[in-house]
Every structure is written in structure tokens, then in C-alpha cells.
Structure 1
Amino acid sequence: MTATITQNLAPVGVSERIGAMDVLRGFALLGILLMNLEGFVGPVMASASGVDPALSGADRIADLLIYVLVQGKFYTLFSLLFGMGFAVMSQRAEQAGRPFAGVYWRRGLALLAIGLLHAIFIWAGDILMMYALCSFLLLAFRPLPYRWYVWFGLGAYVIPIGFMYLMGAMGSLLGGTEGWDKAMGEIGAQMQALVESERAAYASGSYADATWQRFKSTGMALSNITMFGFIAFGLFLLGAWFVRSGAIARPLEFPRFYAALRWVALPLGLLVMLGSLALSPVMDAATYNLRTATAFALQMAANLLMCLGYLAWILKALQTPVGGRVLSVLAPAGRMALTNYLMQSLVCTWIFYGYGLGYFEQLPRAWHPLFALVFFGVQVVLSHAWLSRFRFGPMEWAWRSLTYAKWQPLRLRTV
């Protein structure tokens, strides 16, 4: 029975894909590269913490723009797309009357293994492990009406905000007391020690040194998975709503919804992000008070609002002849999202880490956007070339083969 089910199930073919999702994945890959560059060029644990007060001139302007317009927004978009992918697979299984849970469990376990290998042997800033672990929970929500996904998704998304407000209230009440200040001081010292340990291992250490450091950093990252897992899972559910409701496949049927995202969510999100920046331009893990908690809450709200605004504008552009032609160039990169994500880590760590070319902490912040555009441009070209000969990217092929428990055909058939 299991063999028959596995044989009948197969990856989504090119003709069955939702083209807009591939374009959005390609767009998200560019933003994620620009966001992650800070963690490639320098210590992972020191990245994504706000605007660096030590920077000036063009470097400070670039850092500010990346923080306001990119940081957190494209991770959010990537998470929405992951949830959309789950819903597409689920719908396809329902329409065919085929069991789904077993296949999805294998898919998640395969992604977990890929993420673990990525985190330890390539780059400690991996998000795949968290995606895999959170993805298993989606199966429990599969039978629910899709309208509930929005409320459960938003509920999960705001849980970390509530936790930060709780910590902020405690910090405001207990700040100045010996016990609290000592505890926060220890947290700050531990974080700084980890940053310096990463700096030593990645800047001048051997590959073995860097691997051991990645192992330690991954352990600390996994200790925070509960908090950030709520964020990812909430976004997965929101992404699933886009598919189950038809909003992503038939955007013309949701004109008011997308107009609100374009003209209200995006500008409002930008204003909220600027408010967060004004309250606290640096997110210090060892500083908890109501001010920093409010800045975090505003940043979280801005990430979602701006991400949805970006999504809506991309879909709007795809509906125009010129926009459709230009943006469709990104689709092959989006179809190879896993391969391209891992390639970014592999190449960038080789360029910047000591066991590679050794340019650690040597690329000025002002050069990050140009580096990302050139690198991603090469990835787009390679993706077009690869998919002209093969059905899937190499890592997508491996992932699908593990998911469906049989080798998938890789080469395109030639007439």
C-alpha cells in the first residue's frame, strides 16, 4: 500500500506551478542575500542587531537603508512562501484523493537533515532547521477551515511580542537592582564572548575551527527556536491562507485586498519601522525595558506589513506586460530556491572566511548592495542555464527524491 501511494505521488510539474510564487521566491532570495551578507562578512551573532553606531558616511547610509527596507522583510516573505508551498502540496493531494501526511513528514525530515548539515558544515545562520521543525505542526492545522489560518497565524506571530513586553516590563521594574543587572550583565558577556569566538574562528581559523564554532553557535540558535519558531509558524499559516483562499493564484479576484496591501500596509509599515528605529536603533540582547520591547513590537509589525506590501506590488507588476516580462526572469532562480540559498552560503563563506579567501570583515557596508546584485545576477543566469537542461535544481532534486522515497527524473526529455 505504501509503495503504491509513494509511486502515485510526484513533485508538482512546471505546468502545475503557480508562476507568481516562483517569481516571489526569486525576489526573496535577493533580499535574503542582502540581509545575510552582514552575517557572512562578520560574526553571525553580531548581525541583524540594528544600525551599527560605529559606521559613518556611505556605510552608515547603506546600513540604515538595509535595516529599514530589507532586514526581516524578506525572511518574512520567504516564510510566507514556505507556507504557500505546504498548502499547494496539500491541495494537490486532496484533489487526487491521496494520503499526504507521510510524504510531508519525509519532506520535513529531509529538510531538517539538509539544514543541520548546512548549519554545522557551511554557515551557522541557517533557517532550514527551524523551518523543518515548525513545518510538522502544519499537519495539525490542515483540516481546519482556511479562514482560521489568518487568526491562528497572527496569534502565533504576536506571542514573541507578548514575551518581549513581559521581559521589558520586568526590566523596567527590576532595572537597577543587583540581581537583574547581574543577570543582564552575564547575558551580555556571554553574547560578546560568542561574537569574539566567532570572529577568531571565522577570520583566521582552519575549517575544523570554523566547524566547531558553527556547532556551538547552532546549539545556541536552537535554544531560541521556541520564540522564533512562533514567528515562522505564524507566517506559514498566513502563507497557507494565500493558497487556500485563492489569493495568490487569482489575485484579480481580490482587488481591494491587494490595493490595501499596496497603498496602506506598505507605507504604514515603513512609518512603523521608522518609529522602531527612533525608539531603539540597536537591538541589544542584554537590554530589556519597555522602550526596547516597544521597538521590537513595532519592528515585528513593520516586517509583516512591508513584506505584504512588497508581495502585493510584485503581483501587480506581474499583471502588466512589461512587469511580467522583467520579473519572470526571476522565476528560474525561485524554482531553485533551496539550491541558490545554499549556494549563497557556500560561496560567501569561501570568500570571507579564513579557510577561503579570507576577506572577513573587509567588505565595506556600502558595497553590500552591489555585491548582492552581482552575485544574485550570476545565480539567475546559472538557474536559467540549469533549468534549460534539467527538471529541478540539484538540491531540489535530492529533496524531492528523499520526500517521495524514489529517485526523481532529473534530465529534461529531448525530442
Structure 2
Amino acid sequence: MKRIEEIDALRGFALFGIVMTHMFQGFLASIVPPEYIGFNIIYSIDHVSKFIVEQLFVSKFYAIFSMLFGLSFYLILDQKKHASPAKFAWRLILLFIIGFVHHIHYRGDFLTVYAVFGMILILCRKLNNRIILILGLFLAFNGPEIIIKTVALFSKPIPRSELILLKNIRIEEARRYFDLIIGDDYLKLFISNSTVGVINKCHYLLISGRLWVVPGLFLLGLWIGRKKWHENIHKLNLKKLIRITALFGFPLIGIYYYFAVTPYSKLGRFFGYIAKDAANIFIPLLYICIVLFLYKLRVTQNVIKQFIPVGKMGLTTYVAQSVFGIFIFYGYGLNLLLELSGTMALILGLFVFILQVWFSKWWFKLFKYGPLEWLWRCGTERKWIPNNINK
């Protein structure tokens, strides 16, 4: 199956945004204890960097990655009448194993999440396009959480004492985890990630809404594949799509930001979160349209093509980013979590990504698949697959 360059470029672009987000956050994957809030705000410019990352990066690039995962499902399984769902399920099991090894070192891993939610795609394979689209939109816009929050508006509020207790429990757990991050005891962190970290990840998926959003994005990616948009990119009116997504996306960010920094009522908080979830769909769509538009322009096409090699080895690139981040920030590495400003972390993240672009270009001159992609493919096929470009 011939690879689609634009899809690889989008995947590489998403990985750029992901590493920049994680670098600014110090690869924490946790709430920050009160005494460490603002740990990466050292210089005045860090406030600007924080605003940009929080409003334009957080939750935006993983959304692109998630939609591309759904599209990949279509390319691998859904478009092929006689393709084996069992083989795809085995592929997801292997992804879960790779992800769990990643997770016990970095709690922010999303490979395990993709592996579990990917099974939903197999179950939805027989649904028609209209149901896929409706269900995908409902979940991607965090519809179940909107219903829950709507009911909560008219329900008896949880006693303040219980809320304070729950908050204190979360803060204490965050303190323990933060201490492990800045400590140098690898074994303790390993054990924590393997036990408490799994529970915390499940809790995060629920409270963040990603329990619904990720499967929804998968389904939208599947729907895009079924509509053959990836084969007819040249026919899309990208300028119009850019205007539409920007027209919705940026005002939604403004609405959420207003409610995030201004004291507001329960109703105001409700609308603020709805705006946030909606922005996390429109802004990624805007980014996708911009990247595809720039790819079509002769003057910028070569710039966008730089994302293709890292996109082709997306699994390797993603895991390698975590290896670097852990080494930079964690106590058993260079322990720079409390030393590096957010802006400097972003500059360092850009440097890392440029190195990954260079490495991936070099790699694909010699090999067909990225290192982890090759192992994953061998495991999926259950046989040794030659990777040398000359074989």
C-alpha cells in the first residue's frame, strides 16, 4: 500500500506539537502540587509561552494524532473486505505492550489508551457512515460529559467538605509523585507508575473527558477515510475550511480563557468547559487545513515535507521524545525540572525535534521502517521481516 505523504506530514506535525507541549510541562503528566505551581515560570517571557502552549498546543495536537489513528484503521482494515479483524486486534495488543513499557517510565503515555480504545473501532466496523459520523461528533465534542454537567447544574451540589477531601487526596498523591520525579530512585518511580499510575490514568481519562473524546476522534478519522478525503485532498476547498475553523476556533478559545481567568458562576464554568472541548476540535481541524494548504503551495511544500520522515516513524519518534524528556527532567537523569524555564524547555524541544527530523531522514536512506515500527510489524506478522532498504 502506497503511503500518502500528506498523512505522514500531518502525523509528523502532530508529533512536533506533542513534544513541545510535554517539554513545557516538564514531562510531568500530573497536576502540580500547590507549592510547585509556576515551577517553570522563571522569566517574564515564560508567561507568554505558558499562554501559547495552554491555549494553542494542549489537547490540540493529540487530537490530530487521534484522528489519524482512526484513518489508519480504515487504511489497514476497514477498506479491505477480507482483512482480518483478529490480526488488527493482535496488532493493538502488541501496541498495548509497547505502550505499557512506555507508561511505567512516563505516565503520560497514550499508546496504551489507543490500544484499548482501538478495539472500539473493530466493534464499529459494521456501522454505516451516518452513524459513524453522528457518534463520532457526539463523543469528540465530549457529549456524554456535557449531559453529565447539565444534570449537575440542576442537582444538589456535593457538600463542600467532600470536595475539599477529594481535592486534598489528589494533592497528596501529586506531591508523592512529584517527589518521585525529582528524586533519583528509579525503582520507586517504576513501581508507582506500574500501580498507582495506572489508576490515575484511568481517573484522568474520566475527569478530562478523553474517555469519550479519543474514541470520538477515532471514529471521525474512520469516517474521513470512508469518504475518501485523504485521496481527494486536492479537491478540498482548504481556504474556505481554514476560514470556517478559525471563525469558530479562536472565539471558543477566547470564551474558555475568559471563564478560566475570571471568577464565574457554576453556569459560567459550564459554558467555559463546553467552549474548551469545542475549541479542541476546531483548532486541530484548522491546523490540519493549514498544513495541507501549505503542502499544496510550491513555496512552502519543502518545509512541510520535513515532517514526513518523522511521521513515517511516528511510534519511534513519540517514544524517543519521552526518553529524552525523562533524561532531561527526572531525578535519575539531569534533574532539570525545577531549573529549566518553560521557554528554554520549548527551545530545547524544538532542537530535539530537529534532531529527530535529521535522524529519520538518515534512517530511511537505509531502512524501510522505523525501529519500533519494524519490531511492531514483525510481531504483527509473527515472522522476521527484512528491513534493509536493499532487500
| Corresponding residue for residue 132 of structure 2 | 149
CA shift at 1:390, angstroms? 0.7
Alignment counterpart, residue 336 of structure 2, candidates 356, 359, 362:
359
Residues 363-378 of structure 1 correspond to what in structure 2 (within 5 A)?
363-378=340-355
- The correspondence for 2:6, drawn from 12, 20, 28, is 20
From 282, 287, 291, the equivalent of 1:305 is: 282
Q: How far apart, in 2, do the equivalents of 1:336 and 1:165 lie?
A: 39
Q: Answer yes or no: is the 8 Å Cα contact 1:280–1:291 preserved in 2.
A: no
Alignment of 1:4-403 (within 5 A): 12=1, 16-41=2-27, 43-46=28-31, 55=41, 57-91=44-78, 93-94=80-81, 98-120=82-104, 122-157=105-140, 158-163=142-147, 165-166=149-150, 169=153, 173-174=156-157, 180-215=159-194, 216-225=196-205, 227-255=209-237, 258-281=238-261, 289-403=266-380
Give the aligned residue type for 1:272: L
Measured after TM superposition, the shift of residue 367 of structure 1 is 1.8
Bigger CA drift: 404-413 or 332-341? Answer: 404-413
Contact 1:197 1:213 in 2 (8 A): no
On the 8 A contact 1:261/1:309 being kept in 2, the answer is yes
Structure 1 residues 291 and 187: alpha-carbon distance in aligned structure 2, compared to 1, 3 A threshold: farther
Contact 1:44/1:198 (<8 A) preserved: no
Q: Helix, strand or coil for the counterpart of 1:29?
A: helix
Cα deviation digits, residues 220-244 of structure 1 (max 9, x gap): 1124445422110000011112221
C-alpha contact (below 8 Å) 2:78/2:125 kept by paired residues: no
Cα distance in 1 for residues equivalent to 2:267 and 2:388: 56
Separation in structure 1 between the aligned mates of residue 227 and residue 303 of structure 2, nearest angstrom: 27
Q: Which amino acid aligns with 1:75?
A: Y
Structure-1 separation of matches of 2:151 and 2:386: 52
State the shift of 1:38 in Å. Answer: 3.8
Paired letter, 1:369: L
Matched, 1:406 2:391: no
Cα separation, 1, equivalents of 2:106 and 2:292: 32
C-alpha displacement at 1:272, in angstroms?
0.5
Task: Give the Cα separation in 1 of the matches to 2:255 and 2:109.
Answer: 29
2: CA distance, partners of 1:168 / 1:371: 43
**Shift of the alpha carbon at 1:212?**
2.1
In structure 2, what residue type is equivalent to 1:408? I
Task: Write the distance in 2 (CA, Å) between the matches of 1:35 and 1:276.
Answer: 19
> In the alignment, is the contact (CA less than 8 A) between 1:161 and 1:297 conserved in 2?
no
The alignment partner of 1:392 has SS state of coil
* Alignment CA distance shift 1:397-1:344 (3 Å): same
Conservation of the 8 A alpha-carbon contact between 1:111 and 1:129: yes
Amino acid at match of 2:55: V
Q: Return closer, same or farther for 1:207/1:167 CA change in 2, 3 Å cut-off.
A: farther
User: What 5-or-longer segments of structure 2 have no aligned partner?
Assistant: none
Give unmatched runs, 5+ long, in structure 1.
Answer: 1-11
* Residue 293 of structure 1, CA deviation: 2.9
Q: Does 351-360 or 207-216 show the bigger shift?
A: 207-216
Q: What is the identity, as a one-letter code, of the residue corresponding to 2:107?
A: A
Distance 1:150 1:138 in 2: 13
Once the two structures are TM-superposed, the CA of residue 249 in structure 1 deviates from its matched residue by: 2.2
- Sort the Cα spacing of 1:137 and 1:396 in 2 relative to 1 into closer, same or farther, 3 A: same
TM-score by length of 1: 0.86
Deviation of residue 170 (structure 1)? 6.1
Question: Alignment partner of 1:409: what SS?
Answer: coil
**Alpha-carbon separation, structure 1, partners of 2:386 and 2:268:** 55
Please tell me whether the aligned partners of residues 38 and 44 of structure 1 are also in contact (alpha carbons under 8 angstroms). Answer: no
CA distance in 1, matches of 2:86, 2:267: 45
What is the CA–CA distance in structure 2 between the aligned matches of 1:348 and 1:282, rounded to whole Å?
33
Alpha-carbon shift at residue 313 of structure 1 (Å): 1.0
* Contact 1:338–1:395 (Cα < 8 Å) also in 2: yes
RMSD: 2.4
Deviations along 1:265-319, one digit per CA (max 9) or x if unpaired, are: 1242011011101101499xxx994333322211110010010011011111111
1:219 CA displacement: 2.0
- CA separation in 2, counterparts of 1:72 and 1:79? 11
For residues 167 and 411 of structure 1, the distance between their equivalents in structure 2, rounded to whole angstroms, comes to: 58
Distance 1:335 1:19 in 2: 9
Are the equivalent residues in 2 in contact too, given 1:130–1:229 (CA < 8 A)? no
